[in-house]
Structure 1
Amino acid sequence: MRESAIEKYLREQVKAAGGRAYKFVSPGNAGVPDRLVLFPKERAYFVELKAPGKKPTPLQTVQGDKLRKLGFTVEVIDSKKGVDEFIRKHGVSAS
């Protein structure tokens, strides 16, 4: 399965759960997570999507660690099952 298919599935599932999954691009800051996922009640998560079995690059790991140090949750997801677990953990019904 391609990373793009997992990303599309994430967008669909987040929308169905009442949230938004914005493409996150930060010029001059390579390696930032792919998506900024927002749910009601001021809940924000950064999501790095990977093809099944793939791991974040060292730069992606550094960027994720910087966000975590600021108090944000950064998730790495490499499957539709991972998306489903993310929604169960953070979605509207989990509030």
Structure 2
Amino acid sequence: AAYSLSKKALMELTRMAALEWAPNIRVNAVAPGAVLPPPGKDYSYLSELAAQTPLRKVVEMEQLIDALWFLLSNSAVTGQIIYCDGGAHLNL
């Protein structure tokens, strides 16, 4: 429930801020899945989480950077969220 609530809050905040600050400031977001294991866990923990997502693959840091670069470089995009979570958000 906490995960779902945080993603929904991100969605609403992004939308509201994009409307409020346009046209001078663009507001977008990246909603990452598990990229780094928590303390005491290793990469296999991420693999276990990824197995529960539609794409069944671990999200790599490089993929998050690619998403950020797209949002930073495209001046026609605002109010958008890129979910880099292997499709985990589809299960919300």
TM-score clears 0.5: no
Q: By percentage of residues, which structure has more strand?
A: 1
Counting helix residues as a fraction of each chain, which structure ranks higher? 2
Q: Whose radius of gyration is greater, 1 or 2?
A: 2
Which protein, 1 or 2, shows the higher relative CO under an 8 Å CA cutoff with sep ≥ 6? 2
User: TM-score under structure 1 normalisation?
Assistant: 0.32
